C-alpha cells in the first residue's frame, strides 16, 4: 500500500492522503478580499487528488500583507469571501487549510510581475512596515521596531484571524513563521537585535511564535489541527540553524502546535542555497527527531516515487508540493496512478483513469 495515499489523523481531522498543496501567493486579491481567481485556482487541486490544500499567506492585518494585492483575514468581508471556496474544496473531497501570516519588514512590496521592484511607496499605496528591529531587508525600505503594544496587537490579530478562519469552515490553521516574514524575523539573530524579552536568547526570540501558538490554540479548541511553517535554516552565517529549529519546534508542539511544516531560507538576500530535488527534506528529518515531532517536507518534490520515498525513509509524515501542482493541477491523480494507489476520481474524469 502506498504511504503517500494512506490516511493521516491529527486531532479530530483525518486527511485522506499525505500529498498536499503548499501555500502559494497569487497576488490577486482586492483590499485583502479573494476573488473568482482564487476559487478556480484552489478548487482545481481538490479535483486533482490533493488531500489538503493550504491557501496562500493570508495577512492578519492590512500592514502585514506582502503586497497590496495579498489576501487578508482582518475583517468579515474577507472571511465571507473565503467561505464558498472552502465549501467547494470540501465538496470535492479535500480538506482546506489557511496560512495566517504577517510579512513584517518584507511587507508593502511590489508583486512579482509589476514593473517596479522593492518597496511600494506610501504615495503608490504602500505603508510603513514593522519588524523586531529597525533593520531593512536588502533593497526594501527600513521598518520601525515594534513596541510592546504593537506586538500585543499582532498576537490579537492572529487570534482574531484564526476565529474568522474557523467561521469560514477551514479545517487546518497554519501559522507562517518562515521565509523571512515577521515571526521568522523574530526567530533569527540576523534580523532580531532586540535587548528586551523578545530578543537575545533563543527562548526570547521564540517568544512571539509561542504566544501566537497559544492564542490560536485557544481559538482552535481541542479538535482543529494547528500547523507551524518554519524556515529551519537561514542559509547564512550567524542565522537561525536547524538545531535551533528543532528546539523551537519542540516548544511549539508543547504549546499546542500539531505539526511543523519545514521549509528554509527567505530571511536575507545573501543566503546561499544548494537547490536540488528534495533539498529541504533533510531539514524536515532533523526537526522530526525520530518521529517525536510530526513534520512535513517540501522543496522540489515533483514526482510520485520521490514523494513516496520521503515517507518510506521516515523523513516526514506528509509531503507538500507547490510548483508541481501549478504545472499539473491533477498531480495527485497522476501520482496515485503511478504508485498503483486507488483514490477517488471525479466521475467526469474516470474515462482517463487507466488509459
Cell of 331: 498531480
Contact criterion met (CB below 8 Å) for 55 and 23: yes
Alpha-carbon torsion, ordered 336, 340, 341, 344, to 10 deg: 70
Contact criterion met (CB below 8 Å) for 229 and 178: yes
d(CA 265, CA 212): 21
CB atoms near residue 22 (< 10 Å): 23
Give CA 80 to chain center in angstroms. Answer: 21
CB burial of residue 258 (10 Å; 0-12, 13-18, 19+): buried
DSSP at 148? H
d(CA 283, CA 232): 6
Angle formed by the axes of helices 242-254 and 281-288, nearest 10°: 50
Nearest to 33 by CA among 134, 135, 168, 163: 168
Contact criterion met (CB below 8 Å) for 284 and 314: no
d(CA 14, CA 37): 28
Q: Assign 112 to helix, strand or coil.
A: coil
Q: Clarify whether 279 is annotated catalytic.
A: no
Catalytic residue among 27, 181, 279, 349: 181
Cell of 168: 469560514
Contact criterion met (CB below 8 Å) for 32 and 75: yes
173 strand-pairing partners: 98, 226
CB atoms near residue 286 (< 10 Å): 19
Place of cell 503511478: 338
Strand pairing category for 130-131 and 226-231: unpaired
Known catalytic residues are: 181
Amino acid at each position: 500500500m502506498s504511504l503517500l495515499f494512506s490516511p493521516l489523523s491529527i486531532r479530530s481531522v483525518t486527511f485522506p492522503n499525505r500529498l498536499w498543496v503548499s501555500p502559494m501567493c497569487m497576488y490577486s486579491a482586492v483590499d485583502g478580499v479573494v476573488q473568482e481567481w482564487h476559487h478556480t485556482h484552489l478548487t482545481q487541486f481538490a479535483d486533482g487528488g490533493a488531500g489538503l490544500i493550504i491557501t496562500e499567506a493570508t495577512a492578519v492585518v492590512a500592514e502585514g500583507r506582502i503586497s497590496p494585492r495579498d489576501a487578508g483575514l482582518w475583517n468579515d468581508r474577507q472571511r465571507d469571501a473565503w467561505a464558498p471556496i472552502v465549501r467547494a474544496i470540501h465538496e470535492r473531497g479535500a480538506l482546506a487549510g489557511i496560512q495566517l501570516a504577517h510579512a513584517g519588514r518584507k511587507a508593502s512590496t511590489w508583486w512579482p510581475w509589476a514593473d517596479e521592484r522593492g518597496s511600494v511607496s506610501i504615495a503608490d499605496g504602500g505603508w510603513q512596515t514593522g519588524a523586531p528591529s529597525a533593520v531593512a531587508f536588502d533593497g526594501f525600505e527600513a521598518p520601525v521596531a515594534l513596541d510592546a503594544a504593537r506586538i500585543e496587537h499582532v498576537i490579537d490579530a492572529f487570534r482574531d484571524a484564526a476565529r474568522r478562519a474557523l467561521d469560514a469552515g477551514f479545517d487546518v490553521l497554519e501559522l507562517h513563521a518562515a521565509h523571512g516574514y515577521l515571526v521568522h524575523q523574530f526567530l533569527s539573530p540576523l534580523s532580531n537585535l532586540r535587548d528586551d524579552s523578545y530578543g537575545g536568547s533563543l527562548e526570547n526570540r521564540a517568544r512571539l511564535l509561542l504566544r501566537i501558538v497559544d492564542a490560536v490554540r485557544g481559538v482552535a479548541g481541542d479538535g482543529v489541527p494547528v500547523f507551524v511553517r518554519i524556515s529551519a535554516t537561514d542559509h547564512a552565517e550567524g542565522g537561525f540553524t536547524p538545531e535551533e529549529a528543532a528546539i523551537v519546534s519542540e516548544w511549539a508542539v508543547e504549546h499546542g502546535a500539531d505539526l511543523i511544516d519545514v521549509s528554509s531560507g527567505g530571511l536575507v538576500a545573501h543566503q546561499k542555497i544548494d537547490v536540488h530535488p528534495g533539498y529541504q527534506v533533510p531539514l524536515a528529518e532533523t526537526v522530526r527527531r525520530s518521529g517525536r515531532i510530526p513534520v512535513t517536507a517540501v522543496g522540489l518534490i515533483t514526482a510520485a516515487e520521490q514523494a513516496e520515498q520521503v515517507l518510506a525513509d521516515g523523513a516526514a509524515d506528509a509531503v507538500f508540493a507547490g510548483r508541481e501542482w501549478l504545472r499539473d493541477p491533477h498531480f495527485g491523480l497522476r501520482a496515485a496512478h503511478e504508485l498503483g494507489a486507488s483514490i477517488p476520481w471525479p466521475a467526469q474524469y474516470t474515462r482517463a483513469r487507466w488509459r
